[in-house]
Structure 1
Amino acid sequence: MPGLTVTSDNAYVENAFAWARERALAWVTTDAAPGHLASYWAGYPSRAMFYSRDVCHQAGGAHLLGLDAENFTMLRHFARSATAARTWYPVWAFHFDGEIAALDYRGDDDFVREIPAVFDLTWRALEQYDWTGDQRWLDDPDLAAYYRRSVNEFVEAHDSDGDGVPEAPGTGDIFVGSATYNEQDADHPLIVAADGIALQYAALNALGKLYGDDYCKRATRIQQEFLATWWDEQLGRFARGRTVDHGLDFGWGLESSWIASMTGLTGDGPRNELFLDYVEKQLELSPPQNIEAFSYLPEVFFRHGRDESAWRWLRHLIDSRDDYPEVSFTVVHHLVAGLLGLRPDAASAALFIDSHLPADIARLTADHVRVGEWDLRIAQEGRHTAEVTVHSGPGPLTVTVGSAGPCSIAPGGTARVTTPTKDAT
């Protein structure tokens, strides 16, 4: 199948995509040397490794670039590494031949581990099922066992107070275990962090979509507890985490702040809007020191319709031209799935589209977008008109654009849908 392309009335967008696509594909290591797994670089450019956190976040862009084999191989490799001896934590990093990276691993009870990654792997793997419809994401025994254990045995092994949420030791030492992805705040360690809860919530919802109400009910209980107890009305924000003395910390937590909104844990009402105002202000006053952290921000703001803010931080990533692999992979994802607002359900032969184009972009087209076995051309004009062409596929694809009803598009067919104009925010 031809590779993904992007065209726009905005030359900046086209140039950004061309750079990101070329750079991301240059990080592919499949068959680069004897014994290499199907893989791509995911971590520091100076380290020939792939890291769990990075792979989780790069997988969306990797799919769009045709790297489904790499996604499956790497995510399954992490799943296989979560053993009882490691109290169901997956290993943090591997070399491209599949060997554990000794830099981050000294033994089964002494290796880098962060609670959010446990749930992130489940969420992002099942997200790949949404994109591909590939039954292996559900049927592979290592992955299937990992999904269940991440929300069952892992939680049981690390939930000392019985509230259904795992705790970290709170030492600030990532070799002992961290509650958060935010490694910049080791001087103020947490035992529970909002990003850990948020990704547990996301994993449970993803499992609930496939396996029933029990997982959804657990996700709802976690969210209800968070909304009821982690909010400070006077400050107008949610806490970033719980400290070793079990008090809530309402300070600025970078990932431990914004990932809660990225997964929907903070809801969609007035409190969430106040919290996002706080996040936006803090990003200007105290931005993260690492480019990796910025790569989440477009997804945070696209989710809640703050499209100009998402575009502001997407431009920051693009302008950095940073060689950290996560930047190029996520730029591909944000420019296509983010700006076009794509939510696939390949197994159900369905795709939902909701424009997030900012004022700077009047037209955007992504060609050869792969959803399951369907090869698509998706074009948007402003925030009101979408045209979808199904180049090929196993049958009709049901496409829903914004507030318009669903339409069925047969292979070789095109549908043009106009919805009420919505203002960019």
Structure 2
Amino acid sequence: MNTMVSFACRLFTTMVMLCMFLTSSAFAQDVKFTSSDKKIEQAFDWAKSMALHYKGHPADPVGPWYESALPPRDAFCMRDVSHQSIGAEILGLQRENHNMLTLFARNISVSKNWCSYWEMNKSGKPAPEDYRNDREFWYNLPANFDVLYASWRLYLWAGDKYYINDPAFVHFQEKTVKDYIDAWVLAADSMLNRPAHPNAPVPFNESDAFHRCRGLPSYSEGVPNLKTGADLVAALYRGLLTYSAIQASKGKQVEALKYAAKAEKYRQQLEADWWDAKENLYFTYYSNDHHFGRDEGETFLLWFDALKDSTRIKQTLGHLSSKTWNVENTSYLPLIFYNNGSWQKARDYILYLSDKNTERREYPEVSFGVVEGVVQGLMGITPDARSLSVGTIYKTTDNSNATISNLPLLGTLINVTHQNTQQSSLTNAGKRQLKWKAMFYGNYKHVFVNEKQTPVKQFTDTSGKRISFVEVVVKPGQQVKVSVK
């Protein structure tokens, strides 16, 4: 009897979750962005159409998925999914995120030294382009920490505790922050003296990519003789800090403090060992012949939010914007530049990535990156499931207006309008109450909620900009307008 009841409960829960996914997807695929800045509006429309074009076929054996690898492969890889996941959530691809991240979490194994499958295809198999067997495969070591970070960001965005509480994800978290680090010799004090191939197949064949690249210590794949990448150090920092945040959300403060301290060791190493004082830039790799060098990789220092020195952040942004990168790297830049105060440059990247003349703009990361760049970057929309709240702040260099409608987050749907930089409105179009933190750049003395003067609060962001804000509860079906003077 107990077994039958348990099965019935699980079945009911599954049906409820499926209905929630289907309902959210139906609404969210109608997500709409309009703006008086018509170039940005057109860029979003192109990106939305292109991204939804990559949605997998419902009958594919792997289950719900979207393209997040080289398009001819009909596949998705850990790095690309981690980057595309919030853009996908915005566009209603909740079931796809749920399925793909679960597959990555479930497929770590001791036989692969706690790696997962770097890339899977629509048949539900590890992609043969990257996998031969558990001893011979391609794998980039930042991937586990990227997936860990992505699952946390999806929890914050959607409010779905599955991403932090499901046994498959808990197992993935624990193995990643412990056994995986041990297996690949990734302790903070080992990063510059770790062996090049700590888990190489025996006999080792240097000319076989599935031997040589079984545990690449970077996302930069074109650097030979690589011991450690700065992006791996940044990924370790963010992964351990994410695990700390997960533990804190569960009330496990001792564990949270322990892993926050572990994370900080990587950040300190990044600042002490990887900064090139001569060039005022970060090195991005360390070779097996004990030399620092510079190639790709700076993007991930900012993606993983591993830099705290505002002067060094500015130097890094300046170097990134001074060069032309491949579209994979460039697709990260709209959100990165919006988040770091370079709004005009962020806009430029959105227009560049969506331009029909940009080479390889069809690569899947591009369109998903543009969607996230507009919603989280330009519109400044940041949900936080821990407090059932959403923050907004308009990051524009002119007096343009912009609206996002039918945006799914925290189990509800919202519409947000920014009227220049001094007035915003939020409509709760769903069925779940949330708290709105309406923020505005500037040192304002007065804030009005639905034209009623309300006490204003203020803080200074990491770039030194003053922000005025108010927090207000928005009930289902309610619209609230906030302005500052």
Change (3 A) 1:400 1:165: farther
TM-aligned CA distance change 1:49 to 1:63, over 3 Å: same
Tell me which residue corresponds to 1:423. none
* 2:430 corresponds to 1:357: no
Q: CA 1:31 to 1:213, structure 2 compared with 1: closer, same or farther past 3 Å? A: same
Does residue 44 (structure 1) correspond to residue 81 (structure 2)? The answer is no
Shift of 1:161: 6.8
Match of residue 325 from structure 1: 364
Shift of 1:176: 2.9
Instruction: Map 1:32-181; keep pairs closer than 5 Å.
Output: 32-33=59-60, 35-159=61-185, 163=189, 165=191, 169=196, 173=209, 175-181=213-219
Q: How many residues get paired?
A: 408
Shift of the 384–259 alpha-carbon distance from structure 1 to 2, 3 Å rule, reads farther
CA distance in 1, matches of 2:66, 2:282: 36
Determine if the alignment matches structure 1 residue 269 to structure 2 residue 303. Answer: no
Change (3 A) 1:48 1:175: same
1:385-420 residue CA offsets vs partner (Å, 9 max, x unmatched): 322111123224232424313222222222223357
Quote the residue 1:186 is aligned against: 223
CA distance in 2, matches of 1:257, 1:59: 21
The aligned amino acid for 2:302 is S
1:373 equivalent to 2:411? Answer yes
Amino acid at match of 1:29: G
1:381 deviation in Å? Answer: 2.6
Kept in 2, the 8 Å contact 1:155–1:165? The answer is no
Aligned residue in 2 for 1:415: 480
Stretches (4+) displaced over 4 A? 164-168, 170-174
Alignment TM-score, normalising by the size of structure 2: 0.79
Aligned to 1:22: 49
Task: Tell me what 2:280 maps to.
Answer: 236
Distance in 1 separating the partners of 2:239 and 2:187: 21
2:481 counterpart letter in structure 1: R
Contact 1:168 1:190 in 2 (8 A): no
Conserved in 2, the CA contact under 8 Å of 1:259 and 1:300?
A: no
Q: Report the identity percentage.
A: 26
1:356 partner letter:
K
2:258 to 210, 214, 222: 214
Equivalent position amino acid for 1:233 in 2:
A
* 1:304 Cα deviation after fit: 1.0
Aligned-pair Cα RMSD in Å: 2.2
Deviation for aligned residue 1:65: 0.8
> Does 317-326 or 79-88 show the bigger shift?
317-326
- What SS does the corresponding residue of 1:56 show, helix, strand or coil? helix
1:71-125 Cα distance to aligned partner (Å, 9 max, x none): 0110110111211110111211111131111121012121110011121010011
Q: Describe the superposition over 1:317-360 as per-residue Cα deviations: whole angstroms up to 9, x where unpaired.
A: 1113822222222221112122112221124211122222244x
Q: Which amino acid aligns with 2:362?
A: D
Letter in 2 for 1:369: L
**1:136-165 deviations in whole A, cap 9, x for unaligned?**
112211111111211211111111776265
Which blocks of at least 5 consecutive residues in structure 1 are unaligned? Answer: 421-425
* 1:393 and 1:411 in contact (8 A); partners too: yes
Gaps of 5+ in 2: 1-23, 198-205, 248-255, 441-466
Tell me which amino acid in the other structure corresponds to 1:186.
V
Distance 2:282 2:160 in 1: 37
Q: Are residues 1:291 and 2:356 paired?
A: no
